[in-house]
Amino acid sequence: MIRQTCVAGLFYESDESLLTRNIESMIDSINDESISDEATIKSIVVPHAGYVYSGRTACYAFNELAKDDLPETFVIIGPNHTGIGDRLSLSTSKKWNTPLGDIDVDVEFINKLNEVDLNCTLDESAHIREHSIEVELPFLQYIANRKNQDFKIVPIIIKYQHPQLCKDLARSIHEASKQLDRKIIIIASTDLTHYEDADTAKFYDSKVMKAIENMDSDELFKQIVEYDITMCGYGPTITAIEYSKLIGAKKSYILKYSNSGDVSGDYDSVVGYTSAMIR
């Protein structure tokens, strides 16, 4: 079974050449400041809005991925926007399609993760109309094509974003990767504050980004609860932080912050975006 695109032509271009040129243009336009850190990338945090709004911000993290050899597998974790599916839904498709071609799913990893984490369910229903994973895939395909490397994906949608469930998922991902001797990187897909004015959004989002920078998932959740921050993918972010620490991460970087008003000109109601990297 091939999971077909659901937001091509809406969130990003449906034409292969136009999509490639857009990604290339966004990556070429970013301020590429060299980060002096020899540690390997453990995870990244990237937004999932339409490319016109958050694509350039996402490119800051994907550009860092492009500087190293790619792993065998990217574990891509997104929040559930549709309300369809189970608490932790693992894709059952063998491939995912985008305008840039098909991507193989790491079925062996999916099955191992389903075996070691009792909260996981083999459930394609959560993935069919969900955009939070799909929008990250063309970026990966672009950099992989540029590097002439192959990769597989493990798509996971989190509906029930309880911190303990997300920490358990991080441990399960670590265990599965050890048992399979698989090199992986986690991609956590999330937008930040939704539909506040730009100053309020920046105030809230600064608290989220500080917690990410400190690799403190407990503080992240505490700030979300205390300020009622409408970050849609805090669960994937918690999982990325906890997994990264399990495999020895020492430092986290906030690479870029922006909001939708930077494009629309409407700063009265914005969505915040960040690109982060944990090494």
Domain coordinates in residue numbering, the chain: 2-278
Residue 35 banded pLDDT, cuts 50, 70, 90: confident
For residue 259, the one-letter residue type is N
Q: Distance between CA 208 and CA 191 in Å, rounded?
A: 11
The pLDDT tens digits for 149-203 are: 999 999 999 999 999 999 999 999 999 999 999 999 999 999 999 999 999 999 9
Instruction: Kindly report the pTM of this predicted structure.
Output: 0.98
**Structure tokens given for 157:** 């949608």
- CATH homologous superfamily of domain 2-278? LigB-like (3.40.830.10)
DSSP state of 53: I
The pLDDT tens digits for 127-144 are: 999 999 999 999 999 999
100 Cβ contact partners less than 8 Å away, ≥ 6 residues apart = 16, 19, 20, 137, 138, 141, 142, 145
pLDDT, position 37: 78
Angle at 228 between CA 208 and CA 251, to 5 degrees: 15
C-beta of residue 61 within 8 angstroms of C-beta of residue 206: no
Section 22-38 average pLDDT: 87
**Ranges assigned E (strand) in 160-235:** 184-189, 194-196
End-to-end Cα distance, the chain = 35
**Structure tokens given for 47:** 């937004």
The pLDDT tens digits for 37-64 are: 778 999 999 999 999 999 999 999 999 9
